[in-house]
Amino acid sequence: MKNVMLFFVLVICLSSAQGQTPVKFGLSGGLLNTNADINISALGFNLANIDAINKTGFYIGVAGDIAASEKFHIQPELTYGSAGDLGFVYLPVMAKYYAAGKFFLQAGPQFSFSTNLNDIKQSIRDIQGVVGSNGNIDDVLKSTAIELGFGLGFDVTDQFTVQGRYGISLTDRYDGPLGGSLDVNNATLQIGVLYFF
């Protein structure tokens, strides 16, 4: 977690050091929906796709906005999200492109760190019990993932922004005895606001 904070501070400091690059800081928050799918396959055939988790909650955090040009901005964020029994820390670094006036598109990597995956763990325990493969779930379920985030937003004022973002997992969270046959992938939807100081 210290490395994440250091990376976030480094991005902001490097941008501020250039002097002519306007940087804004603010708070973010809104609605979070997280979905986890467990895919089971054998011999290259997809046997089942289980919608293990679909929970709605909230997210809060801090954000920066670095104006590289009039139309192109970088928006790093550090947020905490909670949905049901699941908890995540997100570090998205979004490239924002102002396509028309105050309307922007955004895309970029999003790193997620789980603080609690109990609901997903229980689903995997159930599957491992059925196929007779038992193991310590805490050892086989990864707490980190890399996602691709993309979305859009609108600057209502210079300080107030609304945005929506969808993140799809690029990495598998499961690394256990069923590794070749079982994949755990998650997706997140965030709809919220940003307030810049």
pLDDT digits (tens, 9 = 90+) for 28-63: 999 999 998 887 777 777 777 777 789 999 999 999
**Domain locations along the chain:** 2-196
CA dist 95 and 143 (Å) reads 25
CA dist 122 and 101 (Å) reads 47
pLDDT digits (tens, 9 = 90+) for 81-138: 999 888 899 999 999 999 999 999 999 999 999 887 776 777 777 766 655 555 566 6
How far apart, in Å, are the Cα atoms of 45 and each of 79, 132, 141, 182?
Answer: 37, 20, 23, 12
Q: Which CATH number fits domain 2-196: 2.60.40, 3.40.50, 1.10.10, 2.40.160?
A: 2.40.160
